[in-house]
Structure 1
């Protein structure tokens, strides 16, 4: 049966893609958004009682309401995840686990458990004041090599529960294809975005049972953060590309590409594009009459979706192929505003009034 599916291009061997439609219908909301702050490699937005915290490389910044930022911490390796609760900051250090700063558990670190190293922390969220949930994206590569994990069809990610009192770590789920976001629901069930399988899972913390709640996404889901009205903000690395889907099924070609071509020029999703004439292109990505069409197939894209309490999309915010606000890897609410980290665009965007449910301009 697997041979027939491969021969006929069905199921996991199909290269057809879901379209951006319905609540995910493209618009220019991110491209037209205000710039809250310029920040190269903007990543990991966390709202705290002392202001917005954002990461850039190995530095952690705190921002005032006016967008003025200051460095509050610096590490030897890039910051790959962050979250906050009750005066505490939990920070994922790429290749070096998790460290807690401030609060009653300040100084606590988690670097490995059961012989497995936490070298690829992709998402963190507090379950309560003494429990931290952590996603380890891969056992094979650090978080900075997310493109390599995708192109190698990685599925060694895991979900962990960290006890901040005792320092113990418990594996909740294993064999995940790059878990990139975690959200709590107020119950024993949590949501986890599984990027390489283009879906969001509901996982039971007691049994580890998992159930897809949002499938067949046209993009690679990243972090999840709380939204107004018990909903969620789901951010994305980039949209899927039919040529990438084809290459993922061509093992020999893919192995040579990874071995012989510099990573910036792989035919793979990216956080930004158009930076070099050596980037791979398709006919639809070429400019026509000097113009790149907004609906062109693209390696990078900007997309944040607002979902309800069941993770059903309600509205979305885009930066299309001809835009620059791409690589929207994180989003969070600050008052009535939505702030979005455009890692590809090197800035933090602000969408005023979006976090109070006003989405009329999206139509």
Structure 2
């Protein structure tokens, strides 16, 4: 199992980042011009620097599970409800799930002003069930192309282990495959896949473009040896999933340390009241910066003894990198992120 080293060498840069605002259960982040939007459950929020808090823009009948912006248009994925578009040429457009397609939208990218690439995490699970997908070896995810002008939905590729992030490039999309710890490039329309990065030390989540021409790569959490062992023990894992509440599974998490019932390894125990930063951990905060070829060049961390865990989204807006930490229910602000990355 890969260790955190090289461009993933641990630091405290995420833990020390200023808080823009607190948002309970924050999930998606997207920038439209100078405006920064986030999601909280079924609510779309506008975040304003130096304001008193998030401003509610609108709400939906289902939780928001994915968002992407292009110009003034905002494409919004709804858990088990498909895709809706707000503003722009296709304002008000609704694309409902087609069978088991588009019922689990986990990430969206605009290919052009009328075409979307959508990650469908699973055929049978909801858009927030990545832990259940991991512990049940669910590899039924797919990449779906949505033509808004023709109201056409087509599958680009299938058999993915929870595709969680996507960005578009010329003639292909770059996809993070969470359960297999890798990044793929998928060409269209033929759907051929090329592995760009393999053996990542964590569970990759959403992808967004950086102002420097690369890509920001978020991670739900990092891998550890006990979880890797449990994933090979089918009888134990099946009983754990069927008999225990999900928050008590020995599985990666967006947050930890909030209940004495949580599973832990010996190194997670506090010694003299102190939890070591290098302890084995279920939750972790990690955002990596990759260059245009998807080679990692640096990263921001919140370690085992920190709180800014469960990074589910990151986006640049107005010269700053904004990071959604689900573990701490906060949106963090890192001004001039490339300079901070090189410190």
Q: Say yes or no: TM over 0.5.
A: yes
Q: For 2:292 and 2:173, locate their aligned partners in 1 and report how far apart those are by CA, in whole Å.
A: 11
CA distance in 2, matches of 1:360, 1:179: 30
TM-score normalised over the length of structure 1? 0.92
Aligned to 2:16: 32
SS at match of 2:251: coil
Cα drift, residue 344 of structure 1: 1.0
User: Aligned residue pairs: how many?
Assistant: 342
- Are 1:61 and 2:45 an aligned pair? yes
Task: Say whether the 8 Å CA contact 1:51–1:65 is kept in structure 2.
Answer: no
On the 8 A contact 2:80/2:97 being kept in 1, the answer is no
In structure 1, the residue matched to 2:255 is: 272
Deviations 1:288-310 (A, max 9, x none): 11110000000000000000001
Matched, 1:238 2:224: no
CA-CA distance at 1:358 after TM superposition = 5.0
CA distance in structure 1 between the aligned counterparts of 2:97 and 2:337, rounded to whole angstroms: 39
Query: 2:36 aligned to 52, 55, 62, which one?
Result: 52
> What residue ranges of structure 2 are gaps of 5+ in the alignment?
none
User: How far has the Cα of 1:66 moved from its partner?
Assistant: 2.1
Q: Which residue of 2 aligns with 1:295?
A: 278
Aligned mates of 1:290, 1:156 — CA distance in 2: 44
The equivalences for 1:95-134 within 5 A come to 95-113=80-98, 115-134=99-118
TM-score by length of 2: 0.97
Distance 2:239 2:182 in 1: 28
**Aligned mate of 2:198, from 197, 211, 215:** 215
Establish whether residue 158 from structure 1 lines up as the match of residue 142 from structure 2: yes
**Deviation, structure 1 residue 129:** 0.6
Does residue 86 of the first structure (1) align with residue 71 of the second (2)?
A: yes
User: What is the alpha-carbon root mean square deviation over aligned residues?
Assistant: 1.1
Once the two structures are superposed, residues 248-282 of structure 1 have per-residue CA deviations (whole angstroms, 9 ceiling, x without a partner) of 11111111101110110000010000010000011
Residues 262/58 of structure 1: CA separation in 2 closer, same or farther (3 Å cut): same
Q: How far off its partner does 1:65 sit?
A: 2.9
Cα pair 2:108 2:116 within 8 Å, conserved: yes
- Judge conservation of contact 1:108–1:167 (CA < 8 Å) in 2: no
Shift of 1:25: 0.2
Superposed displacement of residue 50, structure 1: 5.2
Per-residue deviation, 1:92:
0.8
Q: Does 1:149 align with 2:133?
A: yes
Is 1:181 aligned with 2:171? no
CA positional deviation for 1:331:
0.3
Does 64-73 or 141-150 show the bigger shift?
64-73
SS at match of 1:143: coil
Match of 1:353 among 329, 336, 339: 336
Contact 2:300-2:341 at 8 Å conserved across structures: no
Q: State which of 307, 323, 333 in structure 2 corresponds to 1:340.
A: 323
How far apart are the structure 2 equivalents of 1:132 and 1:117?
14
